[in-house]
Every structure is written in C-alpha cells, then in structure tokens.
Amino acid sequence: MININIPDFIAKSITGRESSLFLNDIDANKEALWDKIKNKSILVIGGAGTIGSSFIKSILAFEPARLAVVDINENGLTELTRDLRSDAHIKLPEYYKTYPINFGDLVFEKLLTKEGPFHIVANFAAHKHVRSEKDEYSILAMLQNNVFLAGDFLERLLDYKPEHFFCVSTDKATNPVNVMGASKKLMEEVIMAYSHRLPVTTARFANVAFSNGSLLDGYLYRMMKRQPLSCPSDVKRFFVSPEESGQICMLACLLGKSGDIFFPKLGEEQMIYFRNITQSFIRTAGFEPYICQSEEEARNFDINLSDGKYPVYYFKTNTSGEKLFEEFYTINDIIDDSSFNKLSIIKQSSTKSLEEITEILDQLRSLINSQKLSKNAIIDLLSGYLPDFQHIETGKNLDQKM
Ligand SMILES: NC(=O)c1ccc[n+]([C@@H]2O[C@H](COP(=O)([O-])OP(=O)(O)OC[C@H]3O[C@@H](n4cnc5c(N)ncnc54)[C@H](O)[C@@H]3O)[C@@H](O)[C@H]2O)c1
C-alpha cells in the first residue's frame, strides 16, 4: 500500500492552496445558496464520478430535501453512498436514491416522469478521455453521450422545467484540438440553444487532480501494483482539487445567469508540468525517481531490488489531439471578471438558434447513417460547424502507450 494523503499532496505539491480557491465566493453568496438549495429537490446525472460526487458534497451542505443520483456505473454509486454515509460532516436527506441507469435509456424517462420535476438538475455524464477517439466507432460513442443524449435530455426537460440546469463542460472545448473537446464545444452550443427556454449554465475548468481515470489517478494503481510511472515531459496544466471542482459547478449552477460559462481565475504561473508533479509524487511515496530511457527499461526495472528507487519514463507528447498548454476562452469571448472573486464568466457565448443546432445534429446523424462514415468525415463536418476546431492528428493514440 502507498501511504500518501492525497488532499494534502494536492494542496502542497499541485495547487499550492491550503484552502479552496472559492471559499470567499461561497461565503459572499451564502444567503443566496441557502435560499436556492434548502428544501429543494435535486437530480444529479453522472453523480458517481469525480466532479458529480464533489458537486453533491458541496450542495449537501445547504440541506436539500431530496437527492436522486443517476449513473451508469453501479459500483461507482455504491462507493458514493459508502463515502457519503461514512463522512461525519455530511448529512443526507431522507429522500436519497441512487439509480444505476444510462440517462439515454427509456427507464430514465420513466424516472423523470414519476420522480420529477426537480428544482435543480445537474449533468456530469460524459466521455472525457481524448484517448477514446481512435476511430469512427469510438468517436460515435463519444458524440452519442456528449452531444445527442445531452440534447435529447434538454428537449425532455422542457416538460419538467427545473429552476436551474447545469451541464459540465471542459477547457478542452476552447479552441479544441481533439474530437472530445469539439464534442464538448458542440454540447455547449446545444445546451445554450435552450438557454432562452430553460435556465442553463455550464463551466469549463482545469484538470481535477486525481480525478477518475486521470494520469495521476493511474499513479495510485501503478504504485499499488509496483509498476513504473510514465508521463509526458512537455505538458503543463492548470489544476483544481476535487473539492474545488464541485464548488465551481455549484456556484455556476445556482448563481449563473442563463447562458453563462464559468471558469476559474488562474494565472499562467499556476500551470504546472506533469513531470514536476510526478517527481513530487514519487518522493512523497518515499522513493527517489529513477529515470528510464524507454518503456521497455521501465517495465523491466525490479522495484524490489532497487534500493529505494522508483522507475519513471518521461516522453515527449506525440499523440493526436494533445495541446501543450491550457486555455479557458478565446479572444472573441465577452468576459465578466468582476462578479466573483475567483471565477470569471463567458457571457452570451453562443449565437446559434435551436433551429440551426437541430439542422447540424440532423446532418451529423445522416453522416453517421451513411456509407461515408469515417473518422475524417466526422472531423471535417465538425470543423465546418466549429470554426475554432483545429484537429491535431499525429496517427498515434494513447492506447499505444504504457
Ligand atoms: N476530470 C477532469 O479533470 C475534468 C476537467 C474538466 C472538465 N471535466 C469534464 O467533467 C465531466 C466529468 O468528469 P469526471 O472527471 O467527473 O468524470 P468521471 O468519469 O469521474 O464521471 C462521469 C460519470 O458519468 C457517468 N456516465 C457517463 N455516461 C453516462 C450515461 N450515459 N448515463 C449515466 N451516467 C453516465 C460515468 O459512469 C461516471 O461516473 C466530463 O465531461 C469532463 O470532460 C473533467
């Protein structure tokens, strides 16, 4: 077992923040948050995931009356419940129900009809890995989850209008270079097209440290299995803690105006290289990094005979769809920097009407159902809709790496 206190490691070696970046903003808006959450009913989709579960923890502090959590991951829901019920600081409402359901399934519609309407609806369900976009099949699965289901859901919500609807986005939607980011940018366009009929907000933010399936989360498994670490030497990112990720979403969901995209105020100097985090991680685990020259060398390194050294392989990024840096907005966006202390807002980001969005989704559907379907055809079509989308194709994919 590795003995690292993860929240402590995040604070000391990643974000450099002892307490949440958003404490002031939460404090300054406490009354509004109590007013909007206390005794309300809440539906969280994708709530077993890292950000969804952090959102749930943030919102429970304001005593909602009902909480329903939907997630396709049954084990994740089990762990969520164990986590919430084992925490002395968390009080669950009497009505707390978890449902292992795909939010695109018919049974979800039944649930919405019988258990709804909900005052607050938040959606965190998505395909989020750039590695999941190898070919037309994996891209279709991503578009299905991130774009089509998100759109269908909003259409259904028109009959069960909530007071607040939030759907999480990502910094990768800004000037996207991968299909994942492009799918999220399109998702933003889809949900914003409903922003005149429903109160819709979203948030883009940085990497959530140790989020499910992330490089850093993988380090915990590698160390438990005594396997080598591997990381890009040239990529730097902004980071927030899981707690901060839930708080950004709560603030955006409850306090944003319809059409707003929230993002954290983080200065360029707060971006950190993965290789620096990796060095600190190995040292905090009680080892000294041993830098290998290849995956082969790293795999064959015998950790038990290594005299306190831990193998790590640094590589230069060469896979499709990777940016070396991170950004939250483009030069054309209108930014509100003054409403919050540590959050900025992109105002009126989308100009597409619901009719235009429907037309785009219809074109995508007809490509999907045609003989012309290929990864390149989808990328060409998406590039036509999203002028900022510049796909980086190197012919290499993360599934080819350790
Ligand atoms: N983790 C990050 O670093 C990060 C940063 C910025 C933005 N985001 C965005 O936030 C979102 C969530 O990220 P996360 O780290 O919490 O991911 P996660 O994988 O931990 O959580 C997503 C959850 O959604 C569930 N889900 C997926 N499809 C579903 C479906 N059709 N029906 C029901 N449940 C479904 C999954 O089972 C999972 O539990 C993603 O869209 C991601 O792009 C993540």
> Is the separation of the CB atoms in 241 and 168 below 8 Å?
no
Mean pLDDT of 65-91: 98
CA 366 remoteness from chain centre? 29
- Specify the DSSP element, H or E, that contains 121: strand 120-123
| 231: its two tokens | 């990381």
Distance, CA of 324 to CA of 334 (rounded, Å): 25
73 close to ligand 1 (CB < 6 Angstrom): yes
Share of the chain above pLDDT 70, in %: 100
Distance, CA of 335 to CA of 261 (rounded, Å): 10
Q: CA end-to-end span of the chain, whole Å?
A: 22
Helix, strand, or coil (residue 284): helix
- Distance from residue 300's CA to the centre of ligand 1 (Å): 34
Nearest Cα neighbor of 311 from 283, 289, 280 is: 289
Distance, CA of 70 to CA of 93 (rounded, Å): 16
Nearest Cα neighbor of 203 from 265, 127, 142 is: 265
Read off the pLDDT of residues 185-204 as tens digits, 9 standing for 90 and up: 999 999 999 999 999 999 99
Mean pLDDT of 51-74: 98
- Distance from residue 59's CA to the centre of ligand 1 (Å): 18
Query: According to DSSP H, which parts of 257-324 are helical?
Result: 274-284, 295-300
Ligand 1: nearest atom to the Cα of 207 = 3
Distance, CA of 13 to CA of 6 (rounded, Å): 10
- Distance from residue 125's CA to the centre of ligand 1 (Å): 5
pLDDT of residue 44: 98
pLDDT of residue 256: 97
- Distance from residue 299's CA to the centre of ligand 1 (Å): 30
Model's pTM, two decimal places?
A: 0.95
**Long-range CB contacts for residues 140-147, cutoff 8 Å, separation at least 24:** 140/368, 140/378, 142/179, 142/180, 142/183, 143/179, 143/183, 143/186, 143/364, 143/368, 143/378, 144/104, 145/104, 146/180, 146/183, 146/184, 146/186, 146/187, 147/183, 147/186, 147/187, 147/190, 147/361, 147/364
Read off the pLDDT of residues 244-268 as tens digits, 9 standing for 90 and up: 999 999 999 999 999 999 999 998 8
On the question of pLDDT at 394 being above 90, the answer is no
Residues in the chain: 402
99 close to ligand 1 (CB < 6 Angstrom): no
| 133: its two tokens | 């976009």
Helix, strand, or coil (residue 159): coil
Ligand 1: nearest atom to the Cα of 52 = 16
Distance, CA of 197 to CA of 154 (rounded, Å): 10
pLDDT of residue 242: 98
Burial of 241 (0-12, 13-18, 19+ CB in 10 A): buried
Ligand 1: nearest atom to the Cα of 104 = 31
Helix, strand, or coil (residue 314): strand
Name beta bridge partners: 201: 166
Highest mean pLDDT, choosing among 128-132, 202-206, 245-249, 368-372: 245-249
Share of the chain above pLDDT 90, in %: 80
pLDDT of residue 393: 77
Distance, CA of 59 to CA of 55 (rounded, Å): 6
Residue nearest to atom 11 of ligand 1 (CA): 124
pLDDT band per the 50, 70, 90 thresholds, residue 396: confident
pLDDT of residue 321: 73
On the question of pLDDT at 84 being above 70, the answer is yes
150 close to ligand 1 (CB < 6 Angstrom): no
> What backbone phi and psi angles, to 5 degrees, belong to 375?
-60, -45
Residue nearest to atom 21 of ligand 1 (CA): 49
Instruction: Collect all residues with Cβ–Cβ distance below 8 Å to 163 and sequence separation of at least 6.
Output: 36, 40, 119, 120, 199
On the question of pLDDT at 325 being above 90, the answer is no
Sign of CA dihedral 215, 315, 134, 206: positive
Half-sphere exposure for 97 (CA within 13 Å, toward CB):
12
On the question of pLDDT at 304 being above 90, the answer is no
Residue nearest to atom 41 of ligand 1 (CA): 126
Top-confidence residue, 10 or 133:
10
Instruction: Collect all residues with Cβ–Cβ distance below 8 Å to 75 and sequence separation of at least 6.
Output: none
* Number of helices (H), then strands (E), in the chain: 15, 16
Distance, CA of 14 to CA of 191 (rounded, Å): 32
Lowest mean pLDDT among 69-78, 80-89, 133-142: 133-142
pLDDT of residue 1: 60
Per the omega criterion (within 30 degrees of 0), is the bond before 311 cis?
no
pLDDT of residue 327: 87
Sign of CA dihedral 124, 336, 385, 320: negative
Provide DSSP, 40-74. -EEEEETTTSHHHHHHHHHHHTT--SEEEEE-S-H
Ligand 1: nearest atom to the Cα of 209 = 3
Mean pLDDT of 203-217: 95
Ligand 1: nearest atom to the Cα of 46 = 24
Q: Which residue's structure tokens are 């919405």?
A: 112
Read off the pLDDT of residues 274-297 as tens digits, 9 standing for 90 and up: 999 999 999 999 999 999 999 999
pLDDT of residue 324: 74
